Amino acid sequence: MPTTTATATIRTSVVTGGGSGIGQSVAEHLAAAGHRVGVLDQNADAAEKVAADLRASGAEALAQAVDVSDRTAVEKAMGVVRERFGPIEILVTSAGIESQMPYPEIAQDEWDRIIAVNLTGTFNCTQSVIGDMQAGQWGRIVTISSSSAQSGAPERAHYVASKGGVIGLTKALAFEYAPHGITVNTIPPSIIATPMAEKAVEAGLVPAIEDLAAMTPVRRAGLPGDVAAAAAFLCSDQAGFITGQAIGVNGGWYI
Ligand code: NAP
């Protein structure tokens, strides 16, 4: 159950993809706000390291290794968080994968793989926790989509479609759950300097981060903390009148 302190209400949160990049920074921000954090990631070692670091900083945190496309595994991991920390009131879905290739080369299994993680994974995680939020008549869900789903992007049709689906799912849930004190928003970032982006740079799929910084209207690279700060605000009590929104964190790339 939520615990109210003099300054804030301490809640139970879950961050998927919490072992790396944007998700790791979101986990750190939520812990800094005093929340209990379940760090879910398919990379067990990375999730455990993030949770251990959060505990070392004084937060309550636990790690669960889970593939978000596996509904049974998701239910189990959410159950562990719930049993240890209580009903889940905050969910940030950052687990995701990317892929880039010309449209004719996207085989059915590659399409399915991207949709399974990015879109069905978001469905699995949101549906697994929405009952907790509805029971408590309070909840915050932030999905991480992509600015590529707002602008379109070449040679990424499967990724863009999966993230467009996330934006649509976010808006649908926002409407359905608004009367229950639950807000559902999405952050569609532009390129953010994370291990995912570094791999894309190394593969020659996107320009070097320094070059991107020079091309970005605000003239610097996007950092995980830029997304995490916005996500943490959307998860706060103060953000209760914001729902169904795509809050761009993109340095001016998409306005
Ligand atoms: P990241 O550094 O690769 O972190 C993503 C984390 O999610 C990794 O630990 C990854 O594990 C994990 N993950 C991947 N598939 C999973 C699955 N099926 N189940 C559970 N965990 C899984 O990437 P990021 O840059 O922080 O990206 C976070 C989110 O932001 C993604 O949804 C991405 O699409 C979105 N995004 C990123 C950018 C960007 O430029 N960085 C821009 C727009 C949107 P592995 O390391 O084992 O894969």
Which pLDDT band, with edges at 50, 70 and 90, does 1 fall under? low
Q: Is the CB of 19 under 6 A from ligand 1?
A: yes
- Residue 95 alpha carbon, nearest atom of ligand 1: 7
Residue 2 pLDDT exceeds 90: no
Report pLDDT digits (tens) over 83-123.
999 999 999 999 999 999 999 999 999 999 999 999 999 99
Q: What is the mean pLDDT of residues 170-196?
A: 98
Let me know if 4 is exposed, middle or buried by CB neighbors in 10 A (0-12, 13-18, 19+).
Answer: exposed
Q: Is the CB of 67 under 6 A from ligand 1?
A: yes
Residue 24 pLDDT exceeds 90: yes
Give residue 30 CA to ligand 1 midpoint distance, Å.
18
Instruction: Return mean pLDDT, the chain.
Output: 96
Predicted confidence at residue 5, as pLDDT, reads 54
Residue 182 pLDDT exceeds 80: yes
- Residue 46 alpha carbon, nearest atom of ligand 1: 9
Q: The whole model's pTM is what?
A: 0.97
CATH topology of domain 3-239: Rossmann fold (3.40.50)
Going from N- to C-terminal start, the domains of the chain cover 3-239
- Residue 116 alpha carbon, nearest atom of ligand 1: 18
Residue of 15, 16, 24, 41 to mutate, ligand 1, most atoms within 8 A of C-beta: 41
Q: What is the mean pLDDT of residues 31-42?
A: 98
Report pLDDT digits (tens) over 195-243.
999 999 999 999 999 999 999 999 999 999 999 999 999 999 999 999 9
Residue 3 pLDDT exceeds 80: no
Q: How far apart are CA 84 and CA 144, in angstroms?
A: 26
CB proximity list for 251: less than 8 A, separation 6 or greater: 190, 216, 217, 218, 220, 222, 226
Percent share of the chain, pLDDT over 90: 96
Predicted confidence at residue 8, as pLDDT, reads 77
Residue-wise burial string across 7-46, b where 16 or more C-beta atoms lie within 10 A, e elsewhere: eeebbbbbbbbbbbbbbbbbbbbbbebbbbbbbbbbbeeb
Residue 7 pLDDT exceeds 70: no
Give residue 7 CA to ligand 1 midpoint distance, Å.
32
DSSP three-state, residue 147:
coil
Q: What is the DSSP string of 185-206?
A: EEE-B--BSSHHHHHHHHTTSS
Which residue minimizes the CA distance to atom 28 of ligand 1? 94
Strand duo 3-4 + 36-41: pairing: unpaired
Report pLDDT digits (tens) over 59-82.
999 999 999 999 999 999 999 999
Which residue minimizes the CA distance to atom 15 of ligand 1? 96
CA 115 to chain centre: 15
Q: Is the CB of 39 under 6 A from ligand 1?
A: no
Residue 126 pLDDT exceeds 60: yes
- Residue 200 alpha carbon, nearest atom of ligand 1: 40
Which residue minimizes the CA distance to atom 47 of ligand 1? 43
